[in-house]
A and B are shown apart, each in its own frame.
Chain A
Amino acid sequence: MLHVTNLGCARGGAAVLRDVSFDLRAGQALILRGPNGVGKTTLLRTLAGLQPALSGDVTMPEESAAYASHADGIKTALTVTENLRFWAEVYGLTFDAAILRRFDLADLRDRQGGTLSAGQKRRLGLARLAVIGRKILFLDEPTVSLDTGSVAMFARWLQDSHLAQGGIAVIATHIDLGIDAPALDLTPFKSAPGTGGGTDEAFL
């Protein structure tokens, strides 16, 4: 369902990764590993279509991918329910309140986004992924600021409700999520400094 062939990507006009290739079928996940700065975020942003690829191809069904960044995109003046309902409507879906329980947000449903703790905000950000129901997820450090219980809860959701339903996930993370997925270390794909240093297009 997701085919990546010889993908090269750049950050700030400098090539970071080259020749990244992998194939994922429905129900599979891939964990991206590598030291800070190796290009995990850049790869995920390229896959999500936020920046153009330097080379190579990404093929996946249209309108099937979703991206979750370091920032959760939570509006501080809106309540938890309003935040999630907004994203459901943007994706043309109706908001199902059962998701609040799934992410342990039921007691917080009427709290304003700005009054949540960092971990609660993250749970809200992850609940957005369940709300929008996309098949292919690109997750950038999804477990940052989560406690161990919440990490287990998220891993359970990912395994049982996403992957088991034929979903795909590409996850950049430094911790062990406890889900059954191969890891891809990005270090060997690192682009040598100064090579393929981006077209004018990439510089923009």
Chain B
Amino acid sequence: MSWQKTAWLVGAVAIAAALPFFVYPVFLMQAMALAIFACGFNLLLGYAGILSFGHAALFGSAAYVCGYAAKAWHLPTELAILCGTAASGILGLVYGILASRQRGIYLAMITFALSQMIYFICVQAPFTGGEDGLQGIPRGTFLGIVNLSQSLNLYYFDLGVFVLALLLFWRIIESPFGQVLRAMKGNELRTVSLGYDVDVLKLVCFAMSGAFSGLGGSLQAFALGFASLDNVQWHVNGDVILMTLLGGLGTFFGPVVGAVLVLSIQNYLASLGGIVTIVEGVVFATIVMTFRRGLVGELQPRLGRLLRAWTRRGAVEQASVDIVPGAKQPTDVAGSRSVA
């Protein structure tokens, strides 16, 4: 089984490495940034069952912090990304402290209010450039060696960060911590009765979710070379929910697929002229009605069944093939012996 997983992984990495020669690299970088953002959101909603409606601020403010660190403080790219990630992690913690004792619509409203506060700070604060945005963020170098101003170089750098982030995310959700999060989503009171401190769990979850969102925001800032108010605006709160739901809530790859889908609609249908938002709405309605658990949520089990059926058939054939030479072998051996 393990060699199959390795084969999948190697195949996926090979495809990802070849992709920028077919698809525009800046688009791919933005897709990866949004995918990490959606994963962070999925940790909260899909695994812990907490609906935040204020993740735009975590994503967008990281883009500003990271961009400002690179532009004004001349920090190297890696450090600037860490700055953005850490800032959003802390902001996520603040979200958690203020909101995690509430639930349902109240929690959504508090997080929404917080994100609007951050939005207005970004509108007013001098370092964000207001409506003009923070422009001309230098992409810098990787470890002072690789020049990241080449889109292809930055793509491979981002790909590395993306794979590491996904592995980390996998590690988190498959750890005992992730199990407890799922338990909390299922039945919070019972989780408390088992001796877990739910409040602390939620805080940690908020901080982690914030950090992932911040990492996404930072990567986007470098990919595009600017940070703008669009990233902290309220509609991004909805966009990230859209991505997560389209892909599949609580599935590992769901948010990644959702992010790519939403970004593709926004970018590749732009030439249709004025009906992008309508198409987005139709796609959303269709998927919600026909794929209740999102694209990955519905397709993954079916694909899995298909794959299992296929491998089982393969195994049966293999077995039958084995039997025939197996049956022949002794006679052969016997024959050779007899010859000898």
Q: Do A and B come from one complex?
A: no
Q: B residues touching A (Cβ–Cβ < 8 Å)?
A: none
